[in-house]
Amino acid sequence: MKLAPRRQGVLPSVARSSRPFCFGVARRKGHELDSVAILALAVYASAGRHARGGGRGMAAVWQQVLAVDARYNAYRTPTFPQFRTQYIRRRSQLLRENAKAGHPPALRRQYLRLRGQLLGQRYGPLSEPGSARAYSNSIVRSSRTTLDRMEDFEDDPRALGTRGHLRSVSRGSYQLQAQMNRAVYEDRPPGSVVPTSAAEASRAMAGDTSLSENYAFAGMYHVFDQHVDEAVPRVRFANDDRHRLACCSLDGSISLCQLVPAPPTVLRVLRGHTRGVSDFAWSLSNDILVSTSLDATMRIWASEDGRCIREIPDPDGAELLCCTFQPVNNNLTVVGNAKHNVHVMNISTGKKVKGGSSKLTGRVLALSFDAPGRLLWAGDDRGSVFSFLFDMATGKLTKAKRLVVHDGSPVTSISARSWVSREARDPSLLINACLNKLLLYRVVDNEGTLQLKRSFPIEQSSHPVRSIFCPLMSFRQGACVVTGSEDMCVHFFDVERAAKAAVNKLQGHSAPVLDVSFNCDESLLASSDASGMVIVWRREQK
């Protein structure tokens, strides 16, 4: 079964192309007020005694500090989750009070850096954005993004927003965020944050079962068929959410679904695109979705009520084929189009960022940031993967490296991961490229140079199949990835095995499986196919 029949409104450029179809196609147990919190708060208080002034800058920095705390909040008091909300609320209150006084930039940087280092040493490496407990629900609910409060890179950061609100995020705060990321990901003492087999909380989160046992599924939890007869190229659980799901379709709509309470239901269908929706992404706080379409527009949606906040035309007037949020600054979205260009778009102004555009060798089919947001990878339908350095202060893209996966083989999926196994940091990229293989690359330097580590056999020659890293993989012996396939199955592979890497295979689709998505705790897996069906699979309870 082919995904792109030659009919009006469904990928007409594919019919004109001689290339195959693809768009165009715990860690250690924590305690509530642990030594890390006490020491960091002491440094913060000390900073307050040494300086005054600069309150406006500090008002932005406290949000960055709170974000660091939120990312680790789920690992505190594992047996008393109710204390996590109290802790983060109290932290927010203290930070707000100290922000009014203001502190010199050097002290702010010192505190932010030290806080990240101490938390990293105590709790170990962070999970990826959107993975299990990466951000606590309490802070996500309390930090909803609004377009009025987002940074406009084209204007003075001190300028007022369109409704009179002071822009709360400055250029300096993004520079501080980049420094915080470097502290968390690069400046840890050697060996101090690598999870080991002695990490009791980590083992408790992931379980002591083998990968094969852990990824055994009890069967189908639910089947959604509201998009029947049109392909569903993308399905995604909301970030840090067990039961909220969205999927987009070539019928031009996006469905928002709720799995609990039973029975699972379609909450709302987002309509507005005049042609197929090729991709979409959740914002970090899940209050906004961005979608791209073959009608050459991207749309910004409010997930709470389904209204379209803004429609933004592609700068080149071309079909938009993929999108992704900048992980640190959700005001910025990167899109790829059929005219071979990637653009960094400011969704609060609807404009592309100056210096945020670059050209590839073919139609841009896949995009992925690394966790700190400093590296962007883009794949095209000519078989190339490009890495870009992302300037956190300006949104500018600088082309760094190019890898030809296979000449003429469309790269349909890119997924980045900072940690592949619990024993060592191994930044990796998972790539689908219409080669009947799933490819795992090692990221060998800070410019995104790739080195092939392993490949796994699947069926993919013409459809835009996608794959993912399992969200809890950092805490297990071994590491698992999941991919769709044209054989109508969902495949699981252990990336640490050189031979006999297959872990599991789910059968139930009647068309090529295009995308897969785990919820945050891996209890449910969603998969979508070329016939429009979305299956939610339930993992066996151990």
Model confidence pLDDT, tens digit, residues 421-478? 665 567 999 999 999 999 999 999 999 999 999 999 999 999 999 999 998 755 556 7
101-138 pLDDT, tens digit per residue, is: 667 777 877 888 888 888 877 776 655 444 333 333 33
User: Could you tell me the residue range of the domain that residue 530 belongs to?
Assistant: 12-27+207-539
Neighbours of 188 (CB within 10 A): 18
Contact, 286 vs 307, CB < 8 A? no
Among 39-43, 156-160, 378-382, 505-509, which stretch is predicted with the lowest mean pLDDT?
Answer: 156-160
Tokens 């400093």 correspond to 374
Task: Please check whether residue 291 lies inside any domain of the structure.
Answer: yes
Same domain, 265 and 185: no
**Backbone phi, then psi, for 362, in 5-degree steps?**
-155, -170
Rounded to 5°, the CA angle 280-283-285 comes to 145
Domain count, the chain: 2
pLDDT at 209 (0 to 100): 62
Side by side, the strands of the sheet bearing 489-494 are 467-469, 480-483, 489-494, 502-507
H or E, element range at 388: strand 384-390
The domain boundary residue, chosen from 193, 227, 248: 193
Kindly list the distances between the CA atom of residue 481 and the CA atoms of 279, 412, 416, 457, in Å, as whole numbers in the listed order: 21, 16, 12, 13
CATH number of the domain to which 352 belongs: 2.130.10.10
The domain boundary residue, chosen from 193, 221, 239: 193
Q: What percent of the chain has pLDDT over 70?
A: 68
Task: Please check whether residue 4 lies inside any domain of the structure.
Answer: no
292-324 pLDDT, tens digit per residue, is: 999 999 999 999 999 999 999 999 999 999 999
Kindly list the distances between the CA atom of residue 17 and the CA atoms of 2, 56, 224, 493, in Å, as whole numbers in the listed order: 15, 54, 32, 33
Same domain, 418 and 466: yes
The percent of the chain in helix, strand and coil, each rounded to the nearest 5, is: 20, 30, 45
Same domain, 363 and 444: yes
Task: Please check whether residue 267 lies inside any domain of the structure.
Answer: yes
Task: Please check whether residue 5 lies inside any domain of the structure.
Answer: no
| Helices 35-50/105-123 angle, 10° precision | 180
Same domain, 172 and 297: no
H or E, element range at 81: none
pLDDT at 118 (0 to 100): 86
- Cα Dmax for the chain: 70
Two structure tokens written together for 98? 């100290």
331-353 pLDDT, tens digit per residue, is: 999 999 999 999 999 999 999 99
Same domain, 214 and 176: no
Q: Which long-range contacts (CB under 8 A, 24 or more apart) does 78-86 make?
A: 78/26, 78/29, 78/30, 78/201, 78/204, 80/32, 83/32, 84/136, 84/138, 85/136, 85/138, 86/32
The domain boundary residue, chosen from 167, 193, 219: 193
In three-state secondary structure terms, 385 is strand
Separation of alpha carbons 347 and 337, rounded Å = 17
4-59 pLDDT, tens digit per residue, is: 443 333 333 333 343 434 444 433 333 334 444 444 444 444 444 444 344 445 44
Average pLDDT of the residues of the chain: 77
Q: What is the mean pLDDT of residues 413-419?
A: 92
Return the C-alpha torsion angle 473, 321, 295, 144, nearest 10: 40
Two structure tokens written together for 522? 């891996």
Task: Please check whether residue 202 lies inside any domain of the structure.
Answer: no
Separation of alpha carbons 126 and 494, rounded Å = 21
Task: Please check whether residue 3 lies inside any domain of the structure.
Answer: no
Same domain, 157 and 247: no
Same domain, 252 and 170: no
Same domain, 317 and 389: yes
Two structure tokens written together for 62? 């406290």
Decide: pTM greater than 0.75: no
Task: Please check whether residue 218 lies inside any domain of the structure.
Answer: yes
Same domain, 16 and 79: no
Q: What is the mean pLDDT of residues 407-433?
A: 87
Separation of alpha carbons 207 and 400, rounded Å = 40
Confidence of residue 499 (pLDDT cuts 50, 70, 90): confident
Give helix then strand counts, H and E, for the chain: 9, 28
pLDDT at 126 (0 to 100): 59
β-bridge partners, 345: 333, 352
Same domain, 393 and 277: yes
* Residue 396 confidence (pLDDT) above 60: yes
Task: Please check whether residue 201 lies inside any domain of the structure.
Answer: no
In three-state secondary structure terms, 468 is strand
Same domain, 261 and 281: yes
Strand pairing of 428-432 and 437-443? antiparallel
pLDDT at 289 (0 to 100): 98
Same domain, 168 and 240: no
